Structure 1
Amino acid sequence: MTSNDPERIASAPKLNQPAAAPPVVGRNAFDAALAQQVAREKEVTRHNDRVSAERRRLPMMEVENYAFEGPDGPIRLTELFGEHYLLLVQNVMFGPDWEQGCPSCTWAVDNLPANMGRVTENGIAFAMISQAPIEKLEAWRTRNGWPHLWVSSHETSYHYDWGWTRTNDQGEEWQLPGYSYYLLKDGVPYLTYMTTARGTEAILPTAHIMDRTVYGRQQDWENSPEDWPQYPTYG
């Protein structure tokens, strides 16, 4: 889970060095404790390999070839693949009546590889989809300096069909962030996997870097030692 306010990351409390710190031990004690931790992490890795193996065995389903609105006009879902057969879509929260994109989703886009060629050279195209009109998306993309293709689902049912926009009994709408993975086979787009909530963390390197520091993400949901710095996740 990541903060919904990137400005909080640079706030003064975050930058001040905390007083709390782990106990100091000698080399032998440190090596023993580290070895135990590495053993636990290896089991996590093996478990993740087992889960990934099951993911590769998921069935797929045909998806409507939606007609989105891109910066240069209408663009079909199949066209988002470009010359590739795999497609990763980041569903960025940006409601039709919003003036700015979701700060947390913006942070996630900023976490993408600096060289997206490392993704495309493996046959994986990348695009972003939001419900806001294309003019708003282009303005936010330009402001953040993103080179990625970003299309609008505003005139389609895409966001409602796949639960990226949800409605409660009172008619109030809210959005979810996440990723959709597609395969193009014989000219037909198929959905092979999708994830939201903390499932998005799998491709957020900054979160994993923070996890391995002594203080973690410093967020209030974490199980940390007493007196460890923690701040509201969405504060």
Structure 2
Amino acid sequence: MTTHTTGTREEWLAARLELLDAEKELTRRNDTLAQQRQALPWVRIDKSYRFETDQGGASLADLFGGRSQLIVYHFMFGPDYKAGCPSCSSIADSFNGIVTHLQHHDVAFWTMSRAPLEKLQAYKKRMGWTFPWASSSSGDFNFDFNVSFTEQQQRDGEIEYNYQRGGHAMDAAPVPEPVVQFADTCGTDPSTYARDRPGISTFVMEEGVIYHTYSTYARGVDGIWGMYQWLDRAPKGRNETGVWWRRHDEYGNG
């Protein structure tokens, strides 16, 4: 016998219409937030960045591929990892299908990590992904956009992530069990694992000048985490008691 509230179709419809009003309000609020993002001041980038791609060395301008906008997903795959972060991997499972649509709407899309290109290529092949993925291992890009940190910053407690110092689970002591688990699945220790973080950064190019327009981190990435958007609409919601997801080739046959 279910313990959840049950009712008639008429009672369900009344409750659903009340929820619909709340959903519409959230949609309008999301529209307002999108406008606030787009209204942020642009910050000119004069620093030169170099990346390694499947097509060879590339500058930040090259990543635009002739388009005026660029979205970068900062994927947790540090140079000492043996495999990409499981959370980032589950997020990236939705990337293959969006690239073409973005490209045909004047938006270039790249995933970016500090691991050497050959590691990214091997992992990409394992996962069956086709989206563009660049290595930023040779420069400061990840550090400048606050998704990678040094051992010294860790030791000194000077990591600033998601626009604040401290407060993130990866910086907690003792180390939370999920961080230990994820580090282990990446073939590294928690400290090394925590020196890279997830995020999204966006850029625009006008008259040959590149500007940084927006970055988001931590829970700010939830909106593109495809499985959660579906689970939030499932009867039992996220229904989580701990870390349950895996890389898509690590689930059993169930």
Q: Which amino acid aligns with 1:161?
A: D
**CA–CA distance in structure 1, aligned partners of residues 92 and 203 of structure 2:** 19
Identity of aligned residues (%): 33
CA RMSD of aligned residues (A): 1.9
2:9 paired residue number:
27
| 1:134 paired residue among 85, 110, 117 | 117
Q: Which amino acid aligns with 2:116?
A: P
2:213 paired residue number:
192
1:114 paired residue number:
97
2:155 paired residue number:
169
1:150 paired residue number:
133
Q: Residues 115 and 178 from structure 1, CA distance in 2 versus in 1: closer, same or farther, beyond 3 angstroms?
A: closer
| 2:202 paired residue among 181, 199, 203 | 181
- 1:14-34 CA-to-partner distances (Å, cap 9, x unmatched) read xxxxx8553220011111111
Shift of 1:116: 2.5
Deviates more, 1:73-82 or 1:108-117: 108-117
Shift of 1:204: 2.6
1:84 paired residue number:
67
Where does structure 2 lack aligned partners over 5 or more consecutive residues? Answer: 158-190, 246-254
Q: What is the 5 A alignment of 1:191-210?
A: 191-210=212-231
2:174 paired residue number:
none
Runs in 1 of length 4+ with deviation above 4 angstroms? 170-173
Shift of 1:234: 6.5
Q: What's the TM-score, normalizing by structure 1?
A: 0.81
Shift of 1:232: 0.5
**CA–CA distance in structure 2, aligned partners of residues 234 and 197 of structure 1:** 18
**CA–CA distance in structure 1, aligned partners of residues 72 and 85 of structure 2:** 16
- Asked whether 1:39 is paired with 2:21, we answer yes
Contact kept, 8 Å, 2:43 with 2:212, in 1: the verdict is: yes
**CA–CA distance in structure 1, aligned partners of residues 55 and 116 of structure 2:** 13
- 1:46-83 CA-to-partner distances (Å, cap 9, x unmatched) read 11111111111100112233111122321111101102
Number of matched pairs: 206
Shift of 1:178: 1.1
Contact kept, 8 Å, 1:65 with 1:78, in 2: the verdict is: no
Where does structure 1 lack aligned partners over 5 or more consecutive residues? Answer: 1-18, 220-230
Contact kept, 8 Å, 2:96 with 2:130, in 1: the verdict is: no
Q: Residues 20 and 80 from structure 1, CA distance in 2 versus in 1: closer, same or farther, beyond 3 angstroms?
A: farther
Contact kept, 8 Å, 1:87 with 1:125, in 2: the verdict is: yes
Q: Which amino acid aligns with 1:102?
A: C
Shift of 1:233: 3.4
Q: Residues 20 and 133 from structure 1, CA distance in 2 versus in 1: closer, same or farther, beyond 3 angstroms?
A: farther
